[in-house]
Amino acid sequence: MIDDRVRRFLVTAPDDNLHVFHVAVCLTLNGLERREQTRIYTCMAEDASFALYIAEQADVTLQEIEIVNDEETYPVRRLGSHGLTWVRPSHRRRDGEQR
């Protein structure tokens, strides 16, 4: 049986590393958007191992976007030597308290 799920990834690194990763995967993964040092990609499950391999070659951090108990989580699948990761910004309510 083929796993036909769509996988979502956050890829974080300095600009040069992000560029190397993007050029290597642009025909296989779908690059959706970039926010500062992080790009969002999607791919079919069968291409996830390719994404991980290129992440290692380009020395980027690759975090998978997963839903656990109705909450998004971002487990690190590969940490780049630069140590950069994406962390969800905290949201503040109008009264100043964090959610």
Distance of CA 79 to the CA centre of its chain: 11
How do strand 76-78 and strand 30-35 relate by DSSP bridges?
A: unpaired
Task: Express each pLDDT in 8-60 by its tens digit.
Answer: 999 999 999 999 999 999 999 999 988 889 999 999 999 999 999 999 999 99
Distance CA 91, CA 46 (A): 34
For 53, residues 6+ apart whose C-beta sits below 8 A from its C-beta are none
Q: What angle do CA 91, 92, 94 make, to 5 degrees?
A: 140
Distance of CA 4 to the CA centre of its chain: 19
For 20, residues 6+ apart whose C-beta sits below 8 A from its C-beta are 57, 58
Q: pTM score, two decimals? A: 0.83
Task: Express each pLDDT in 62-97 by its tens digit.
Answer: 999 998 898 889 999 999 999 999 987 765 555 555
Kindly provide the residue ranges of all beta strands, DSSP E only, lying in the chain, ordered along the sequence.
6-12, 30-35, 38-44, 61-64, 66-68, 71-73, 76-78
CATH topology of domain 6-78: Alpha-Beta Plaits (3.30.70)
